[in-house]
Every structure is written in C-alpha cells, then in structure tokens.
Amino acid sequence: MTKVLVVDDEPQIVRALRINLAARGYDVSTAASGQEALRVAATEHPDVVVLDLGLPDIDGAKVIEGLRGWTSVPIIVLSARTDSGDKVSALDAGADDYVTKPFGMDELLARLRAAVRRASTVPAGEEAVVETQAFTVDLAAKKVIRDGAEVHLTPTEWGVLELLVRNRGKLVAQKQLLQEVWGPSYASETHYLRVYLAQLRRKLEPRPSRPRHLLTEAGMGYRFEP
Amino acid sequence: MTKVLVVDDEPQIVRALRINLAARGYDVSTAASGQEALRVAATEHPDVVVLDLGLPDIDGAKVIEGLRGWTSVPIIVLSARTDSGDKVSALDAGADDYVTKPFGMDELLARLRAAVRRASTVPAGEEAVVETQAFTVDLAAKKVIRDGAEVHLTPTEWGVLELLVRNRGKLVAQKQLLQEVWGPSYASETHYLRVYLAQLRRKLEPRPSRPRHLLTEAGMGYRFEP
DNA sequence: CGCACGTGTGAAGAAGTCGTCAACGCGCCA
DNA sequence: TGGCGCGTTGACGACTTCTTCACACGTGCG
C-alpha cells in the first residue's frame, strides 16, 4: 500500500485529504508542523509527501531541505501563495510539484499518482532472484547460476523456466506453458514440453532422471519447487 | 548539455521558449505538430519534453501515449485549459507536470529544472566508472580508456555501449537496445546490432572473436559482463 | 501378461540467427 | 570539390536453436 505523509497545520485540510486519500486506498499519516513532519518522515518512510508551506514553526523550504538531506521521496507542495517566486524557490529546493490553494482534489490526486508512478518505475533494480539447492535463477538479469558458473539457456528454455519460476510452487498447465511460450496456436504440442523439460533438467538438475525442482504432474502440467 | 524538445503550434510561444531556454544553456529542438514531435523525440532523444496540448493534428494525450510507449523522458504539459479533467487525464496518461497558460517563465523553468533533476538523480546509486580487465568506461565523461589511451567511439557505438554498461550483468533485449538507441521504429533492425557489436568488440575486446565482456545471447539480446 | 497411455531421451535435419567483410550514400569540412 | 567519418545495406559462411522422429520407460488396467 502506498504511504502518504500529509503535512499541514489546518485541521480541515488534513481531514479532507485524509478522507479522500484513505478512500482511494492510501495509507495516510499526518503532521501539523515542520518538526513533526521531519520526525514522522524518518520513522514512517512515506512513498510521497504532501507538504503545506505555511507551517507555524519552520519555513517550508527548510522542511524540503531537511527531507532532501536523506531521502528522494517525492514532495508535492501545497501553498496559498500564487507568487511565482515562492514556486521557484520551493521547486529549486527539491520539491517535485507545486499546487496552489484552493486546489481541486481531482488534480491533487492526479499529481500524486504521477509523482508515485515516477518514483516507483525508477528503482527497477528489484531483486528477482530465486534459489534452490542446486541452482539460482535471476529473473531480472535472465541468468542461471549453477555451481558458481553461469548456465547458458536458449530463448525457449528460458521462456519455460521463467514461467515455471514465476509460478513457483504452483502447478502450471501444459496448455498455459505452450500458449505463453510458443504462442496460442501451439496449445496441444505437448511433445515440445517433454523435450524442453528434459533439456532443462539435464542442464539444471543434479540427477536429471530424478528431478527435485522441475517436477512433472502427469496429465496436467509441470511445477517448479524451490 | 540538457536537450529540451518544445512542442507547440504557436510560433510566438515556441520563439519565446527557445530564446529563454537557449539563454540558460539548454539545447532546444522544436516541433509544431504531434507527428513531428514523435519523430523528433525518436531521433533527438531529448532529456525533457515541453508539450502543448492544443496541437493541430493529434490529440495531446495520444502524443503522451506515443512517447510513453518507449521512453520515460519527463513530459511537462502546457495548456490553455484550466479544466481539472484535462489535467487529470494528461497526468494519468503519463505526463509529469501540467502548467496552465498563461504561465510565468520563471515557474516553467523551475518546473523544468525539477523534472530534469528527478530524471537525472534517478540512476544515482550507480558508479559512473566501470572497469573491466580490458578497458574502462566512464559514463559521466562519455569516455572509454584502453591500454591508457582513449578509444574513439561514434555516437551510435557509444549509445549501444552505454545502455549495456548501465545494465551491467543483465541481459538487454535486442528490441530494447534498438528502441533506445535508434528509436521506436527500428525495433526489428537486428542487423544493426550485429554490425555495431562487431565494431565495439573490434575496438574494445582483446580477442574480438572471443568476446569476454560484450556477450551475445542468441535469439535474446546482449549482455555486458565486467 | 500384454497393451495403452503419457512420458523421457538422444540424435539428426531444417530453420533461423550471428559474425564478418565490403560497398554504398550522405553530410560535413577543409 | 574531394576526402573523411559515420550510418546503412547486402551477401555468405559459421554457428545455434527449433522441430521432428524413433524408441525406451513405467504405471495402471483388463
């Protein structure tokens, strides 16, 4: 769930935002001052911050700087001031977007979605590594390691293995494998599966004739067991 | 230098933006229609796009979708319409920001800086210099050193090498290489890759016929292994 | 026991992909 | 205008991958 930190000293705005955001499935935390905002951001690690500039204690730009000192979380600034100087300084301090009050909730939500989308498509460096006793599959790098050495797979071999690993523990029907790897018109070429599962076992299983990870479910399909 | 693509059909706006942006050291290209915008974006690879929604040919949202099909370049939308529905649909189509006309140049420039900053600090966790036994790639300086001397690469050679090095260890699909280096319409010109990989190997690998760093995965793509 | 069925295995030809060399065309600059 | 650098194309041999085939295996059932 996406976590939003709302920072504003006006209770009615906090309330309105909380209700709207919660209704759309966001996990909302709030802060009423700059000090509190910095503290809550540090403990909660929100995915996006909505920050009002007119806070009672610290200047808004200082809050932005305080956050930017250690995080690159998207910051959307709210402000009653339409003065372009304010916008420029907030954006240059590290804010991602600037919305002037009074604002439309639709627009704010759209800008929030845009900010979250940007931030989430960025760190594509997800760990997509699945290990077994015999070998390791790296889905992102499209690599298989066995006994410290990389095992070379052909495109079709990789297609079959990837589908099984992505559904690890689950039975994958023969028809599904054939359709997703070879295409919709190959749904009944079950022989291909036998050939390619044999090849994968030969390359990956310690004892290909007694597979421990690439298992057959007779008449139904195959299963990858980590 | 940061490259900006300005898309607008009103010459006076294009002119004003070009002057202001050029004065601040941006490299400006322009397009007066949606078709032209997509074509120029594919050839120029701008670092940020400023897009007017009221274009004569294609609907603005279609232009955003067309760009988002192959690139995540920041898009700042300009529009005369203050209607929140327009803002929401543009942002949800993949725009990064939305500025209503008439706009202050200061504010637009600040939003542009914010968009570029976000996009460039994205690959922050990466080391800009990558070394192999045979050569050294400096991503920031766009330089390659081999045996103490700089190796000259053509723009296309560099484009291919950079993408591979940024994804070091990972398999990069042929389609991705072609789309990001040559443009979205070259997705199936696999022959180019063979020619350019051969050239890179000739320049960088100690034994071009037995590459150790620029590896081929037949039928899938290429991989840079440090 | 013998048969049917789905499965595993190895090998061989067909099909597709890759590396390489060389030529062409275009824009740029002297 | 001529030369140069660069991107694009074509041809062809070498190599990899896909497809197909023949046959062995094992389990369940009549």
> What CATH number did the domain enclosing A68 receive?
3.40.50.2300
What does each of the 226 residues of chain B score in pLDDT, given as a tens digit?
Answer: 799 999 999 999 999 999 999 999 999 999 999 988 998 888 888 999 999 998 999 889 999 999 998 888 999 999 998 888 899 999 999 999 999 988 999 999 999 999 999 887 655 445 689 999 999 999 989 999 999 999 999 999 999 999 999 999 999 999 999 999 999 999 999 999 999 999 999 999 999 999 999 999 999 999 999 9
The answer on B153 and B58 residing in a single domain is no
> How many domains, in total, are found in chain B?
2
What is the distance between the alpha carbons of residues A181 and B160, in angstroms, rounded to a whole number? 28
Strand D and A202 CB separated by under 7 Å = no
Structure tokens at B21: 């942006």
Asked if A45 reaches chain B (Cβ–Cβ under 8 Å), the answer is no
The secondary structure element, H or E, covering residue A31 is strand A27-31
Q: Which amino acid is at B214?
A: L
Full DSSP string of chain B: --EEEEE-S-HHHHHHHHHHHHHTT-EEEEESSHHHHHHHHHHH--SEEEEES--SSS-HHHHHHHHHTT----EEEEES---HHHHHHHHHHT-SEEEESS--HHHHHHHHHHHHHHHHHGGGGS-SEEE-SS-EEETTTTEEEETTEEEP--HHHHHHHHHHHHTTTSEEEHHHHHHHHT-GGGTT-HHHHHHHHHHHHHHH-SSTTS-SSEEEETTTEEEE--
- pLDDT tens, residue by residue, A144-200: 999 999 999 999 999 999 999 999 999 999 999 999 999 999 999 999 999 999 999
B109 plus B19 within the same structural domain: yes
Residues A94 and A186 in one domain: no
Size of interface A-B (CB pairs under 8 A): 76
A124 in a structural domain: no
Which of A96, A119, A142 is at the close of a domain? A119
Partner B contacted by A88 (CB < 8 A): yes
Q: Are residues A91 and A171 in the same domain?
A: no
pTM above 0.85, yes or no: no
Considering only CB atoms, which chain A residues are within 8 Å of B121?
72
CATH number at residue A188: 1.10.10.10
Closest to A76 in 3D by CA, of A57, A103, A58, A56: A103
**Same domain membership, residue B83 and residue B11:** yes
- Residue where a domain terminates, one of A57, A91, A119: A119
Question: Between chains, do A114 and B92 touch, taking CB under 8 Å as contact?
Answer: yes
B24 is a domain residue:
yes
- A15 and A115 co-located in one domain: yes
Shared-domain flag, residues A153 and A218: yes
Token look-up 């230098």 returns B1
Please identify, among A119, A154, A178, the residue that sits at the C-terminal boundary of a domain: A119
Q: Give the pLDDT score at B125.
A: 47
pLDDT at A6: 97
Q: Is the CB of A189 under 7 A from strand D?
A: yes
- Domain of residue A140 covers 129-224
